[in-house]
Amino acid sequence: MFNWRKGFAGLLAVVMTAALLAACGGNKGNDAQASGSPPPSASASGPEKSEPPKGDPITLRIELFDRNNTPAGAPPITDNFMTQYIQKNFGDPNNIKVEFVTVPRSQEIDKLNVLMAANQAPDLVFTYDTPTVRKYVKDGGLTDLGPLLEQYGQNLKKVLGDEVLEYGVFEGKQYAIPARRVLLPQTTTIIRGDWLEELGLPVPTTTEQFYNALKAFKEKKPGNAGDKIIPYGYIDYFHTRPLVYSFWEWDKISDEDLFANPEWLMPGNKEGFRFLNKLYNEGLIDPDFPLTMNKDTTQFQKDLINGRIGAATTNTNEPVYQGYLAEVQKANPNAKLIPIDPFSDSRGKHPKPVYTPNGIYLLVPKASKNAEAVIKYLDWMALPENIIALQNGIEGETYEMVNGVPQTLDNDKAKQTLYNYTDYLMILNGKFVSLTDEKLNIAANASDPNFKDFTVASIEAGSNDGVTKPTVTAAIESEIKYATTLKEKDDEIFVKVVTAKPSDFDKVYDKEVQDYMKIGGQAVMDEKRAAYRAEKGQ
């Protein structure tokens, strides 16, 4: 009689072995491929070619962010105007089949890690996250793109520029190609122009005028917000930088200080926060700001549309591209939001942080055999006609040229074609038309033709007297290690210091900053100073 017990035991053993082999097989495959990196395939012909190379087409896999926001009637993101244009104008002439691999935007780092670990990553991937890039470099997972860039990427180099490319150099090699950020301003302050008119106040160009305007808003309550008025909204660490920067004693700050010091220690920072503390205690700031800080801005938008907000420092042009400026106008046609540049320092300048010119990092995994094709692809993308096409679509149908600047048309075809152009044209962050004329570039980025003036003013105000901190190429280990702890402490100190009673302000500020230095701030500062001196000499 068949012995069931033994039979089952045997069956179990077989199943388990099979399963084990299945699981382990993966890692072995991993090891085999990651260790010896295949050199980029040298194509049969040289870089200058006019006919398509012979032979089987290479499949080039490119990552594509999927935001799941395809408008009704639009074709799928893997087969639309953009993909067809790329295939026709790059793929076909080079005997390359371009394939887009979709990755959901929201978990892109996790998905990227998983694809890299499984050796399934596309030939071209991207991420904004610097620590992830550093980790890939350290683990030996990226292709050095320097030599290929020299050979096949001259157009790309011209468009990006040396400064941008520097940000992609890790451990001495060009492991990443950063996209070029076209627009550098971070934040711009806006104010209710109609309220200023109503109260007979000038458009603020100094901090004092701005303060007076806030006080007047609170006392005279223009508009119909009544007691619910919030003179100055959108309060958090990032968006109060221009205000605080205007209190710094810039004459006392060297480049090394600017790089190495935590902002809490900069001369004048305390006074900036004393000013914020004053605003809070005089009721000029929303007392509930800690609850909505760094979370979504729906409440702020609602308050703005309801006419409760007098002024705010938002992301540059945010009211336009987030769509709420239109809502403000709809709710109240008399409301006038104007971009201003009020925070002035002792030198009469308006210093404010701006972005460094690098955008997303473009990476080629070491396991990819098509690094050369990737560079050729990016180089092709950098040609002016391709930039215009991929950013604006088809002339006459989705855009028209106005004074040398493409203007997006306000029709369905434009919406369906261009809603995610940024995910295809990865080498640029922002619309780009000219290597030389910045004004043209700014005009090109006035995304909504109805608010062109607002956009241009917003960008100009946000760029004025912009400051970027110096960088070094070496990795600051302690900065990476303490990054989150210190960022959290930043927010914590921000809230504590701004909401403190005026008599306690100095005590609270000093104690909190002391804590900050103790939990890692000191270590980071010391390492940064040392690195700066090592690299730039002293």
Site for other proteins in 286-345 (CB under 8 A): 286-288, 290-293, 295-299, 301-302, 305-306, 315-318, 321-324, 327, 330-331
Site for other proteins in 88-117 (CB under 8 A): 101-107, 110-111, 113-114, 116-117
Contact 500/196 with Cβ under 8 angstroms? Answer: no
Task: State the helix-helix crossing angle for 505-516 and 269-281, rounded to 10 degrees.
Answer: 130
Tell which residue, 199, 186, 214, 353, has the closest CA to residue 276.
214
Spatial distance between the Cα atoms of 71 and 489, rounded to a whole number of angstroms = 41
**Could you count the other beta carbons within 10 Å of the beta carbon of residue 20?**
10
Place of tokens 């940000």: 167
Using the rule CB under 8 A, is 504 a contact of other proteins? no
Task: Identify which of residues 255 and 488 has a Cβ nearer to other proteins in the complex.
Answer: 488
Using the rule CB under 8 A, is 494 a contact of other proteins? yes
User: Which part of the chain contacts other proteins (CB under 8 A), choosing from 39-47, 281-289, 501-509, 521-529?
Assistant: 281-289
- Residues 508-537: x where in contact with other proteins by CB under 8 A, - otherwise, as a string: -----------x------------------
Contact 319/234 with Cβ under 8 angstroms? Answer: no
Using the rule CB under 8 A, is 386 a contact of other proteins? no
Spatial distance between the Cα atoms of 302 and 286, rounded to a whole number of angstroms = 14
Task: Identify which of residues 48 and 227 has a Cβ nearer to other proteins in the complex.
Answer: 227
Using the rule CB under 8 A, is 450 a contact of other proteins? no
Task: Identify which of residues 342 and 520 has a Cβ nearer to other proteins in the complex.
Answer: 520
Q: Minimum CB separation from other proteins for residue 434, in Å? A: 18
Q: Minimum CB separation from other proteins for residue 290, in Å? A: 5
What's the chain's length in residues?
Answer: 538
User: Which part of the chain contacts other proteins (CB under 8 A), choosing from 9-17, 89-97, 196-204, 345-353?
Assistant: 9-17
Task: Identify which of residues 97 and 349 has a Cβ nearer to other proteins in the complex.
Answer: 97
Task: Identify which of residues 90 and 100 has a Cβ nearer to other proteins in the complex.
Answer: 100
- Residues 147-186: x where in contact with other proteins by CB under 8 A, - otherwise, as a string: ------------------------------------x---
Site for other proteins in 430-449 (CB under 8 A): 430, 445, 447
Tell which residue, 518, 516, 496, has the closest CA to residue 507.
496
User: Which part of the chain contacts other proteins (CB under 8 A), choosing from 195-203, 464-472, 482-490, 530-538?
Assistant: 482-490
Spatial distance between the Cα atoms of 343 and 353, rounded to a whole number of angstroms = 12
Task: Identify which of residues 209 and 356 has a Cβ nearer to other proteins in the complex.
Answer: 356
DSSP output for 179-211: EEES--B-EEEEEEHHHHHHHTPPPP-SHHHHH
Q: Minimum CB separation from other proteins for residue 446, in Å? A: 11
Using the rule CB under 8 A, is 12 a contact of other proteins? yes
User: Which part of the chain contacts other proteins (CB under 8 A), choosing from 45-53, 217-225, 484-492, 521-529?
Assistant: 484-492
Contact 213/201 with Cβ under 8 angstroms? Answer: yes
Q: Where are the alpha helices (DSSP H) in 282-383?
A: 289-292, 298-305, 318-321, 324-331, 371-381
Which residue from 453, 488, 504, 526 is in contact with other proteins, where contact means CB under 8 A? 488
Place of tokens 């009469």: 348
- 3-class SS of residue 368: coil
Side chain identity, residue 401 = M
Tokens read off for 471: 């960088």
Q: Minimum CB separation from other proteins for residue 316, in Å? A: 7
Q: Minimum CB separation from other proteins for residue 344, in Å? A: 25
Site for other proteins in 228-257 (CB under 8 A): 228, 238
Q: Minimum CB separation from other proteins for residue 378, in Å? A: 17
Tokens read off for 285: 């700031």
Contact 457/496 with Cβ under 8 angstroms? Answer: no
Task: Identify which of residues 207 and 314 has a Cβ nearer to other proteins in the complex.
Answer: 314
Task: Kindly state the helix (H) or strand (E) to which residue 269 belongs, with its residue range.
Answer: helix 269-281
Using the rule CB under 8 A, is 85 a contact of other proteins? no
Site for other proteins in 30-69 (CB under 8 A): 30-31, 34-35, 66-69
Which residue from 492, 511, 527, 529 is in contact with other proteins, where contact means CB under 8 A? 492
Q: What is the 3-state secondary structure (H, E, C) of 461-490?
A: HHHCCEECCCCCCCCCHHHHHHHHHHHHHH
Q: What angle do CA 393, 398, 404 make, to 5 degrees?
A: 80
Which residue from 83, 94, 420, 441 is in contact with other proteins, where contact means CB under 8 A? 420
Site for other proteins in 186-225 (CB under 8 A): none
Task: Identify which of residues 295 and 501 has a Cβ nearer to other proteins in the complex.
Answer: 295
Q: What burial letters (b/e) apply to 462-493, b meaning 16+ CB within 10 Å? A: bbbbbbeeeeeeeebebbeebeeebeebbeeb
Which residue from 10, 38, 47, 76 is in contact with other proteins, where contact means CB under 8 A? 76
Q: Minimum CB separation from other proteins for residue 95, in Å? A: 25
Which residue from 484, 503, 537, 538 is in contact with other proteins, where contact means CB under 8 A? 484
Task: Identify which of residues 154 and 394 has a Cβ nearer to other proteins in the complex.
Answer: 394
Strand spans (E) along 305-448: 309-315, 337-340, 352-353, 358-363, 399-402, 405-408, 428-429
Which residue from 204, 262, 342, 359 is in contact with other proteins, where contact means CB under 8 A? 359
Q: From the centroid of its chain, how far is CA 360?
A: 7
Using the rule CB under 8 A, is 128 a contact of other proteins? yes
Which residue from 129, 256, 263, 460 is in contact with other proteins, where contact means CB under 8 A? 129
Tell which residue, 224, 235, 225, 198, has the closest CA to residue 213.
198
